Structures are given as C-alpha cells and as structure tokens.
Amino acid sequence: MTWYYASGGQQLGPVDEAALDDLVRQGVVRDETLIWKSGMAGWQPHGTVRPRAAVPVPAPAAAPLQAAPMNSPAAQPAVETRYCSECGRPHPANQLYTMGTAAVCASCYPAYMQRTSMPQGGAQMPQTGSAMQPMGAPMQQMGAPHMGMPMQMAGGGRWRFGGFWIRFLARIIDGILVGIVSTIIRLPLAMLMGGGAILSGIGRDSDPSAALAALPMIFGLMGVSFLIQIALGLVYEVYFLTTRGATVGKMALGLRVVTAEGGPISIGLAAGRFFASYLSGMILLIGYIMAGFDLEKRSLHDRICNTRVIYTR
C-alpha cells in the first residue's frame, strides 16, 4: 500500500507504510498533514486516516532560554500552519474555513461551495483574515492522483464546465462520424438481406398485396439497421470515454467527461451515460437543453450518472 503526502504546498510520494511511519517519527508527517492513497475520495488529515500510526515525536533538546525583544517574531504567538485541500497551499490555521474534518482557504471557497451545494452556514468561519478555500476536496493543483489518474484543471484549480452550444457541436461531429461508419456497414448488409430486390419489386408491381407482403421484410431491415446504429454508438461512446476521457468531437473542442470527483469514466458508467442520453432526447431534447441552465452545465444524463463535462485547456 502506497501513500502520498503534502509538504510545503507540494505533493510528495509514493511511500509505503513503513516509510510513512518513519516520517511520522521524524515529525515530517504530523496529524494535520494531508495524505492520500488509492481508493480515498479526497485528501484527509493524517491523524484522521491513521490514528494508530501517530507516533510521538521526541522533543528536541531544550536550548538555553534567551529573552527576545518584544517586537521580534519570537515574541509573537505561534500560529499553526495548515494546507488547503483544494489547492494545497499553506495558510495560517485561523484563516481557513473548517468543514467536517477538512479545512479550506478563500480563493477556492466559492467554487467548492458551488460544487458541493453546501449551505453557507455549514462551514465554520475563520477567526480572522481573508476568504478561504474548502478542505476535503482533492488537491488537483498539486497533481495528486485521484481514482487512478490526475484531474486536468483549467487554471487556479477550478473547473470550467462545457456549456450547451459547444457540447451540441461536439455531438454533431460525433453523429457524423458514427453515421458514416454505420452507413458503410448497413448498406451492404441490407443488400445481402434482399432489401434492394424488395424495393425494386414494389416499384415494378402496382399490386397493393405485393407491398403488404413485403412489409415484414422491410420492418425487419429497419430493426436490424436500428440495432446496428445503437451498437455502433455504444461501442464508440464506451471506447473513447474509457480510454481517452472524451469522444472525438469532445476531444476536438477541448472537452472531457469526468466523474463528480474528477476521476475517469468506467465502462459501466460510460454505457449507462450512453443509454441515459436517449432519455435526454426522448423528452423533446429537454434533457440536453437543461445544460444551458445548470450551474455545472449538466444535461439530464449527466445528472443521472453524476458526471461532468469540463474543459481540458
């Protein structure tokens, strides 16, 4: 089991359990130091995640006491330094918002509150100082691994969500690509199944009974064509979302599909999102239009699967 830890506003690691215990003994990793390992939803204080691993740090030999001038830094009371979970930068502890086991600085605080939808009264306000950022979110700016991969952010550690029109353009690009491949497959298959002979026979024969007799075959061809279209779209969506994080249309426009925590899309989630997108279209495209009015630009299928579409650049 490997761990990552924050020190001086930077991500360090990986280290194994024994090495992490040594860092605790040396005083490098303390109870308030943020640590992370694969499987955790976000960075958390060491004292919360590994309470039994907290080893007392031997106190250094006491130096002779010397009177310090009243205006010197030594005469001022020491202020504990803690790290913001959103950006990973060090801040005085009395200038951080506290939310549960997390502590947060001012620049990232609004974005965090928007993402978590936490009421303003739910956070413990800092005693003094400026705005704060939320504690408990992954430290993306530090490049910390999250659910197996780093989250790409658009400057300042904040997400920029892809809006309705750019996603609409990406969908058009994807539709053209899938439509071309689908046509290449379906036309020869329809000919092999006798589609050409059926259509030509109906055109030559004016007898209505001949057209009625051909209806089962026509509906059969339409059903096979529809299934091919669905299968191609599913394979296309699942392959590109799980291996590239975006379809060709989204990659061309600098977009990426991620989970709510910023992680990659799994095969099951990509498949579920594909079928949920049909629900967005079946209700008069209202499921897609919702993205234009949502703070995080989520369509109906994004809400169902708890995904986000963000800019990568």
- Looking at residue 102, its pLDDT comes to 64
Q: Is 85 within 8 Å of 137 (Cβ atoms)?
A: yes
Give dist(CA 30, CA 281) in Å, integer.
52
CA triple 139-102-38, angle to 5 deg: 45
Would you say 128 and 94 are in contact if contact means Cβ atoms under 8 Å apart? yes
Each residue of 265-274: b (16+ CB within 10 Å) or e? beeebbbbbb
- Looking at residue 231, its pLDDT comes to 95
What is the spatial distance between Cα 24 and Cα 289, in angstroms, rounded to a whole number?
52
Residue 82 DSSP SS3: strand
What is the reported pLDDT for 295? 92
What is the residue-level pLDDT of the chain in tens, covering all 313 positions?
788 888 777 777 788 888 888 888 888 888 888 887 877 777 788 888 887 544 454 555 555 555 545 555 545 556 677 777 777 778 787 777 776 666 667 776 666 666 665 444 444 545 444 433 344 444 444 344 433 333 444 334 468 999 999 999 999 999 999 999 999 998 888 777 665 555 565 555 556 666 676 677 778 888 888 999 999 999 999 999 999 999 999 999 999 999 998 889 999 999 999 999 999 999 999 999 999 999 999 999 999 999 999 998 7
User: Buried b / exposed e across 160-169, counting CB within 10 Å, b at 16+?
Assistant: bbbebebbee
Return d(Cα 77, Cα 178) in angstroms, integer: 66
Structure tokens at 302: 């994004």
Which 3-state string (H, E, C) describes 2-28? EEEEEECCEEEEEEEHHHHHHHHHCCC
Contact 3, 144 (CB under 8 A): no
Exposure string for 43-81, b = 16+ CB within 10 A, e = fewer: bbbbbebbeeeeeeeeeeeeeeeeeeeeeeeeeeeeeee
Handedness of CA 21, 27, 30, 34 (dihedral sign): negative
